[in-house]
A and B are shown apart, each in its own frame.
Chain A
Amino acid sequence: MSDKHIDEFSGVATTGHEWDGIKELNNPLPRWWVWTFYGTIVWALAYTIAYPAWPLISSATTGMLGYSSRVEVRKELDAAEAAKSDYVAAVKAKSVTEIEADEQLRAFATAAGAAAFKVNCIQCHGSGAAGSAGYPNLNDDDWLWGGKLDDVYLTITHGIRFAGDDETRVSEMTSFTDILTGDQIAEVSAYVAGLSGTASSPDLAAKGAPVFAENCASCHGEDAKGNRELGAPDLTDAIWLYGGSEAQIAQQVRSPRNGVMPAWGARLGDTTVKELAIFVNSLGGGE
């Protein structure tokens, strides 16, 4: 750098460095560029004074303008709450059937219920509410405890066989292992499968009819149409909670599974439960 090298073509001094024979001209920066650069520095300093910036030991400077992103978020959340407060109040005050009748309120409750469903219900009933073995499909038209809005509302509020709720819906399918013989179980299973037309042998099914009348009709009814008071399933339709094959039916007769649904009323609050009931009803299976 001791002696300045002047580029002979441009007449401009070079920086004195050389890379593989290439030298860099030491042209000045354009003035507008330099001033823009200084401007950004001034801006940056002013910004850090105006807004929270400099880190301290346990916090940071708060800034002259008193800006806080947490406060902003709180404001936006409050505004969102306020914007829907009228609807929420209406949902709170009205019964599910009244909400259903009000088109605007129904649309609001459906959307709110869909959101609540995604958080609380899809773990068992699936994201499309289609259920799986042991977990009812909420889209179809078969309901163990009733598919009217009030029924669904009650089910969600108090749950099914949920120990923590006094008003929960309770019923229990007895285990018939000790009551019926193995043959009888095979016969009654064939009979039940036959009710929806999938029995393996008509003879076996015919033998199962008296077994059914004696042991099962008290809950599932003479015609096997079930009993919603007891949550006893309709055995004549095409929908099976634990599977409709003879083996699956026999399994349920021998060692029945009795699914549990928690009571959501206390956990989510009445408003959310109403919204959930409206949403479930909107799936197309409501009665």
Chain B
Amino acid sequence: MVSQADVERLEAEPVNAAHNRQPLYAPRKKIFPKRASGNFRRFKWLVMAITLGIYYLTPWLRWDRGPFAPDQAVLIDLAHRRFYFFFIEIWPQEFFYVAGLLMMAGIGLFLVTSTVGRAWCGYTCPQTVWVDLFLVVERWVEGDRNARMKLDSGPWSLNKLAKRISKHGIWLLIAIATGGAWIFYFADAPTLVGEVVTGAAAPVAYSTIAVLTATTYVFGGLMREQVCTYMCPWPRIQGAMLDENSLTVTYNDWRGEPRSRHMKKAIAAGLPVGDCIDCNACVAVCPMGIDIRDGQQLECITCALCIDACDATMDKIGKERGLISYATLSDYNANMALATGGGAHAVDPKLVHTPEGKLSQKVADFHIRKIFRLRTFIYLGTWTLVGVVLLYALLTRDRLEVNVLHDRNPQFVTLSDGAIRNGYTVKLLNMVPEPRTILVSIDGLPGAAMSIIGMEEATGGQAAISVEPDRLKTLKIFIRQPREEVAGPAVNFRFVVEDRASHERDEYVATFNAPETSR
């Protein structure tokens, strides 16, 4: 065993320490998270790089849709009410796809939370990612925990002023870039960036940048963990999604207790000694400023940096890793029962350790099977079902549609030869970015003739209408049926639209109205 003297002892007190509760309206306790290193920290770097990369770079991806549509891969074109996502183009009436995606996001959150706990909070939540980024800047400018604490408590000096200005300056730059990136999703990015720089962009672009800059700076730089603890509703909801088989960051007190700062003295005195040497590394690295050894807490975002910190200490003192680990409550309970003799007495390290100080064989290890259970499969099944339905709807959706609005006032007109005429507003939706010629005809109304306002040649049974790419064309169509053919006060017939080139067609069942007295 390596001497305990090699392990740095940190003075760190959790913000929510039970023996030192703050009054309700107390100023914030400053947190100076120490740099952690280890597997989870590396994973967090990776997630940060991917998520920030997606956020900042996506608007710059190009996607060729031909000459009649924008070439930006992801574009929310509010002015023309179109949403482009790579090969998918969504019209306003197809917005239910977004509703479907939100359902998938919701069920996905159930799935992830029920298996790996609050992974969303710990790794991918924008608040976590940006706070992490802001902490990197802070550490780079002001140094790690001890240097920052010293700087903070020290008097104002030129050095302190310079560091503070650079820190906040870089934070603001990041915040501006964040606000700036957002607007590029709503317009052609290369054009817009030029307009923003030259002051020619729309006021809404600047106000959006301003608002997002402010929120990023305030939430990510100044408020940090307070957003999670006091403002965010997710911790409350996510807590309710966990059960005894969900993974949570856990301090394994069945093995760590009784903790001891002076292990040798304690052993010499014949006292029981757990694996925790109370080095406080887990508290020092915590970005939420809590002590995981106090058990599960609302504040814990399960980012697992305390696991990295504790593992480093365990390596130094030659103990097995995992004193703090991702564990399920069921495993924890089993091990706790083992360490306390079924709850008969306090934790006895001898029951879970071999005489050599290693962990006993009887200790339950986490097994991946634990988190895959009926509940998880139901979530997974539902999530997949919604996804498959959405995908099916997407792959089989119409790109040519006809909508018909029957004139209601008057419902019909009697013409001088006794024929009955009905008026319709017909909308042709050409939902592909190419011009098309669409044949419009009617079916199921004997003897009826069609005439289209503004089109002299279209009188007759069928009309060829050219529709602009990715546009809707509105036609005013009159249908006239001779008196002797009128079959009753309300007869259904069909408008048929067809694109001969792509063999796409759509129908609309409309009603032809006539006076009650006819026939």
Contact = CB atoms under 8 A, between A and B. Distances in A.
A139 B415 CA distance: 9
Interface in B396-423: 407-410, 413-418, 421, 423
A238 B418 contact: yes
A112 interface: no
B414 A140 contact: yes
Given A27-B25, A28-B25, A284-B423, A139 B418 contact: no
A239 B416 contact: yes
Interface string A105-134: 000000000000000000000111110000
A137 interface: yes
Nearest to A25: B24
Contact of A238 (B24, B407, B417, B478): B417
Contacts of B417: 237-238
B483 interface: yes
Nearest to B483: A238
Contact of B416 (A12, A128, A141): A141
A234 B415 CA distance: 12
Contact of B413 (A10, A11, A139): A139
B25 A140 contact: no
B453 interface: yes
Contacts of A238: 414-418, 483
A282 interface: yes
B76 to A, nearest CB: 29
A244 B453 CA distance: 30
Contacts of B418: 196, 237-238
Contacts of A128: 407-410
A141 B413 CA distance: 9
A130 B413 contact: yes
B512 to A, nearest CB: 15
A142 interface: yes
Contacts of B421: 139-140, 284
A30 interface: yes
A285 interface: yes
Interface hub of A11, A141, A237 (most chain B Cβ within 10 A): A141
B453 A284 contact: yes
B482 to A, nearest CB: 11
A237 B423 contact: no
The interface residues of chain A, by DSSP majority, are classed as loop
B409 A127 contact: yes
Contacts of B410: 126, 128-130, 137, 139
Contact of A30 (B25, B408, B415): B25
A137 B416 CA distance: 11
Contacts of A30: 25
A12 B421 CA distance: 82
A46 to B, nearest CB: 22
A282 B423 CA distance: 12
Interface hub of A11, A30, A128 (most chain B Cβ within 10 A): A128
A141 B421 CA distance: 10
A234 B418 CA distance: 13
Contacts of A10: 23-24
Contacts of A142: 415-416
Interface in A251-280: none
A139 B423 CA distance: 10
A167 to B, nearest CB: 28
A15 B407 CA distance: 68
Interface hub of B410, B418, B423 (most chain A Cβ within 10 A): B410
Interface string A16-53: 00000000000110110000000000000000000000
A285 to B, nearest CB: 7
Contacts of B478: 284
Contacts of B453: 282, 284
Contacts of A285: 413
A113 B408 CA distance: 19
Contacts of B413: 130, 137, 139-140, 284-285
Nearest to B451: A284
Interface string B481-501: 001000000000000000000
A118 B414 CA distance: 22
Contacts of A11: 23
Contacts of A140: 413-416, 421
A46 B453 CA distance: 58
Given A284-B423, A284-B478, A239 B414 contact: yes
Given A28-B25, A30-B25, A284-B421, A237 B409 contact: no
Contacts of B409: 126-128, 130
Given A130-B413, A238-B416, A284-B478, 11 more contacts: A126-B409, A126-B410, A127-B409, A129-B410, A130-B409, A140-B416, A142-B415, A234-B416, A238-B417, A238-B483, A239-B415
Interface of A: 10-12, 27-28, 30-31, 126-130, 137, 139-142, 196, 234, 237-239, 282, 284-285
Interface of B: 23-25, 407-410, 413-418, 421, 423, 453, 478, 483
5 contacts: A11-B23, A28-B25, A137-B413, A140-B416, A238-B483
